[in-house]
Structure 1
């Protein structure tokens, strides 16, 4: 059975440039060589708006640039990748993102953390 994290990565792959890397676990990928999307599941809760068996699954999706340093080139690169990722998320059904907060990926790297929710339902 494929995890929901991997399913989300698989849905994003055709919508994002081919050079993006995906990390669907908490592991440290080391030095980034390409724009990297980290997909981490954070919470599962019942969906009070829908029938029993529906869940709201919350994720932290992070986009990080491989450029190090907090300078204009790294900022511009991150802005471009963040816009691309948000457009891809907007194109996916049953997914809503609420915020994109700038973060520090490493001592010298920058990223955006995107909070998103997916509605799921266990098949009967």
Structure 2
């Protein structure tokens, strides 16, 4: 799948007026231009967009080396339907948690992923570490 730079970002982030942010102004900055995400929520949203756009290389690069799988295969035919960020909590300046629900469909079956993810910042970059499913 691809998305237009001016099209709505797959992560669903909205501006203060409730208008969907354009991909280029949202996750596109991180996925396409190697700009570090400024916080754990932005990284989590960009990782969701990477799943939508089948960008396994971005997912690998944004996964902390201590928990990163050697190989990452994305589910063929998975259609991502939406993301809801339920909570974002800074633990300290270099650690944070983000609770979210991501919905998708695989082979006609609805899937709901509810996770609290842990993130760490090293060298000025945020990384996904792991998460607990709800």
TM-score by length of 1: 0.26
Structure with higher helix content = 1
TM-score by length of 2: 0.25
Larger radius of gyration: 1
